[in-house]
Structure 1
Amino acid sequence: MKTREEAERILKSCEEENKALFAEIEETALYNTEKVLAAFREFHVAERHLKGTTGYGYGDIGRETLNAVFAKTLGAEDAIASPYFASGTHALKVSLYGLLRPGDILLSVTGAPYDTLMSVITKKGIGSLADYGVKYEQVDLNKDGSFDYDAILAALEHAPKMVFLTRSRGYSDRDAFSIEQLREAISFIKAHSKAIVFVDNCYGEFVEKEEPTAAGADMIVGSFTKNIGGGLAPSGGYAAGRRDLVRQVAFSLTAPSLGTEIGSYQPGYQSFFQGLFFAPHVVACALKGSILFGAAFSKMGYRTIPACGKRCGDIIRSIVFEDEKKLIEFCRIIQSVSPIDAYVTPEPWDMPGYNEQVIMAAGTFVGGASLELTADAPIKPPYIAYVQGGLTYEHIKLAVLRCIEEFA
């Protein structure tokens, strides 16, 4: 245990030691803010685009302009930016069902997707891709978290329709992939295959100056309650990439032949436009907070991923506790410093779609929003907590202070 004064000294030293990384993050945020502003200007975003519509939504200029702004920002030919995606998993599901057909092979080259998506792909009897005759193959990463190019090459000989890459780590103990790592892998895949290259981009938007589309990805998908929603979007997600592929995903979201021609949203689009505008700054806060968590817990003797002093590939910080009680206590501390439900004590529970019990600290304004400061973990060895987000850097600092007081 440390006093508040002792914890503040440790925190200050963590900030001093990471000034250079903080400066890089702030420069990236400036670049990405300019990119977002350029998209707003190009498509003449005006107050009328913030308003909602009812019924079929034919000619909904807010919906159409939001799609265009997202496509431009993400470096894509086209995009669907919709409040009707219920989660990142839902956006991925709709996209996969739009692009894959019976007999097609879906090849994941970053190991298994996270639990909820794995059920979408392989679980029998629930309307999964497997139930519809889509085959699944998998290439695991090397032990150091790098791509196994020999195994990928062998798997590509089976002529997969799609190659799937997960940018973030899920509940694994690897680093997230950088854009440069993705570029190398995608170039290799495209040199040996005509498969659609599909990237789960959740937790990765605005971490760098480029998105996976710039690295050659044909499709990227993400969630509005993570990075790109800026903490304001109340729901939704996006699918962006090649125009012909986005068209097929649109048919999956609404109905064949209708696509993005319909879809009203009476509450209006202000929170989505405004969230996108805020997102580069809020992501920068989250990244600086991740570095702060990593530095503080490294000083206290814990292993963190990414390693202390290393650049982040997403907004998630993994902290390896090797102890169930410490893991649970950490999540309870994060809950206790939350603006919402701070009085609640989180407990492990059987969360739908996951293989083990999961504990979640999520005192958020938007339910389950992981761009807000949250922490979660499967209850299994080596008892890794996954902490992410933070709408303000000051909030994250207070959480880190509280952790130092408890764990140092």
Structure 2
Amino acid sequence: MGGEELPVDSIYNILSRLPLNSLARFQCVSKVWCKYINDPYLEIMHAKRAMKDPTILIMFQLNYVIANLKFWRNASTSTSLSMLVTKEEKNSSTQVVITTKNNNPPYMEFPSKDSDSRFMVEDSIILGSCKGLMISSQDPPRKNNNNNNNKTVLLVINPLKKECYKLPPIKIWSCTSVFYEREVCGLGFDDSTNTYKMVCVVLRNQNKIRSYVDDDDDVVKDDLCTMVHVLGGGTGDSSSSWREIPQVPPYPISGEAVFANGCLHWLVSYQLKYWPSGVPRKVICFDMTKQEFGLIDPPRTLAVWAKEHLVDLDGQLGLVYDDVSGRKHCIEVWLLNPETKCWVIHCRFNKKPPFPRNQFMKVIGYWNKDAGDLLITDGCRARLFIYRLKQGVLHEANLFYENNNARRADFRLFQTTFSSTLRRGSIKNT
């Protein structure tokens, strides 16, 4: 297909039937092919055909490399990304083996922020995801006479294209622990402009120390600001594209953002005087088109003495309650109805072996959406579990991988998606 031999409609028709990983490779054939594949019209056609590529399990590993044993400050951190392969026994619903693909070297690598940094959401390497793109962070480049100590470079990773994009450094996530539950970031997609947007809620003055008990409405309005960065905004210069918007969340927020139904979602920070322990936290949402914050009430649940986290369940917002107090010994998973803003229970099951005792468990996502099965990891991110909804069976997957330099692991489910709106050259590539 040279680009001239076939009618344009026929070319789009053919390309719209191909899997996304093939389209990603075909961009390298020629400029003509790249032009067709990066056309938003092809994205629309591809979506209408509802081609569903299989969900891939990805393992991110934080590697600590010491360049000089005498000087720890010469140590550096990098993250390796590995695609995992799953094998299930034909006559068993419980035997699942997960390994790295063909024992190959990492699929891709990229620089990471120092492992001692507080810019890690619950020790996660990945800070969020949206439509096949993922967020991580790294330390900014050190320059003479330039104080970047309080700045962070956010990275947008496209695993499908093996590309990593740097965003302009931003002051976020001070090393002072008092700010830990107030600054957040999230990546969302604005359908009205067909663009990705990075949203960061940050402290206006990170040198101004307040205690948690000082939090009130005035503190939120005075101390927090919302910064937005449009990815591939069309200017060709991403160095000055952070801009402040007048809206701030009604409460300080924390945790990893989940993008669903055109909005980013976070939980209200739990370390606040007006959010006592044992009371389910509300969800803060940010409409990507209107650029406005809103509140969503939590579900009425019996698991009030629990640790909550949000999860993306195939484009739906999920809320997980993990009873870490030992009172109910259960995990609840709820789904939000985007129309009614009401929660419906997806499943409730007991925390029992093979779960490790007294550990926080994190739901990663759907293991099998049609069956409603869930993939779960433990607090140390070293083991994987599968909950079979229809059978009510919980079992551990056999996980095999080897990386002696890894200091931390993070597992994510990756659904390949057409991200042609993130075009080459529109954002600085690492």
Alignment TM-score > 0.5, same fold? no
Query: Which protein has the bigger helix share?
Result: 1
Q: Between Structure 1 and Structure 2, whose CA radius of gyration is higher? A: 2
Greater strand share, structure number: 2
TM-score band, normalised by shorter chain: under 0.3
TM-score, normalisation: structure 2: 0.25
Bigger relative contact order, structure 1 or 2, given CA contacts below 8 A and separation 6+? 1
Normalised by the length of structure 1, the TM-score is 0.26
